[in-house]
Structure 1
Amino acid sequence: MEILFLDYLLSKQGILKIAQLVILLVAFACVRSTWYISVYAYGFYKGVTLGYSITLVLYLFLAVLGLQKKATFVNWLIAEFVLDTLGFIFISTGSIIAALKSFEVPILIAASVCGLLASYLLVGSVILSFVATQRPQTAGPV
């Protein structure tokens, strides 16, 4: 009986999630460590990056505990697809707003670039989730 299921962390999706998490935490740290001019734009950006980072940590925690294999009543592929799609919408919007309001401050530009990079990783994760949902599913328990 396994306690921790590390299969997901070693898969393509898991590696993408970990990379997204690290990049989003760097973006949050960049914004948090500076005195910014546009309170509303960077307040939204901080909220989006921190909120999605917490969501990613929770999702990875559930995957490591093996909840995906125990709770078969949830379609985890669809849940991951929705999570990544909403994350892409919010993070790309926040990154574009942050880039427009950066006022050529280098650390704020770096934060918006990190957000855009995380958005590209989210697109890759959405594509992988979509491809996984198109495969035929097995009828028995996993």
Structure 2
Amino acid sequence: TSALSFVLSGTYTGSMNVPHTAYEGVGDLNLQANELDAKGHFDVVRDGMRYRGQNAGSAYLYKAKPFVDLDFRVSYAFSLTSLVKLTLDAGVQNFLNAYQKDTDMGPGRASDYVYGPNRPRRLYLSATFDI
């Protein structure tokens, strides 16, 4: 067996239709007409807090783009004794940093408006002892 190994894995998520529903409590934001785009979407700051979502009565079906989520890992195994093996791993998960860029923001955001990979790019290290 080889002491050094490389792993490349991935997930493809195809395009999908995602309902974008209204922001809860949107009336409390007192939105002006110039703060809404043609689809009723808003992105405003009130008292230092950012609010982003869909206006009441303007829900629609959004066609999300496909995502590719790739992971890479390198491992090296050492024999410490005839009975104990140490394996060191280092890797990057979602190294293309694919994620949903248009999430709603604020306390009343549409929590069901989520698609694509659920974690951003992340690095990791690990050590495993086999006895």
Larger Rg: 2
Give the shorter-chain TM-score range: under 0.3
Higher relative contact order (CA 8 A, sep 6+): 1
Would you tell me which structure has more strand in proportion to its own residues? Answer: 2
TM-score (norm 1): 0.27
